Amino acid sequence: MKTTIDIPRKELSDAIKFTKAKTKREAVVTALKDFNRRQRVAEVAATFGTWDIASNEELEAADVEENE
């Protein structure tokens, strides 16, 4: 889709630098894809919540108990 937008010069320059894009279009498309991916991840995290995962020390203690 062809769209004309006014993007601040500094933001576009940063996007080109961070994405290592060769063109303005490539930088914008890459930035949009990354933004959309992050939003999907946030939605999944919100839907499923967080888990209480055992620490490394707790896992090692459980291994020691099993081997005794």
What is the rounded CA–CA span in Å between residue 45 and residue 17?
29
Does the residue 31 lie in any domain?
A: yes
Burial class (CB in 10 A: 0-12, 13-18, 19+), 30: middle
The secondary structure of residue 54, as a DSSP letter, is P
Nearest to 16 by CA among 6, 8, 26, 5: 26
Q: What is the pTM of this model?
A: 0.65
pLDDT by residue for the chain (68 residues), tens digit each?
Answer: 899 999 999 999 999 999 999 999 999 999 999 999 999 998 888 888 766 777 888 878 877 776 76
Does the residue 1 lie in any domain?
A: no
Does the residue 3 lie in any domain?
A: no
Does the residue 59 lie in any domain?
A: yes
Does the residue 53 lie in any domain?
A: yes
The number of distinct structural domains making up the chain is 1
Does the residue 4 lie in any domain?
A: no
Provide the domain limits for residue 14.
9-67
pLDDT of residue 1: 87
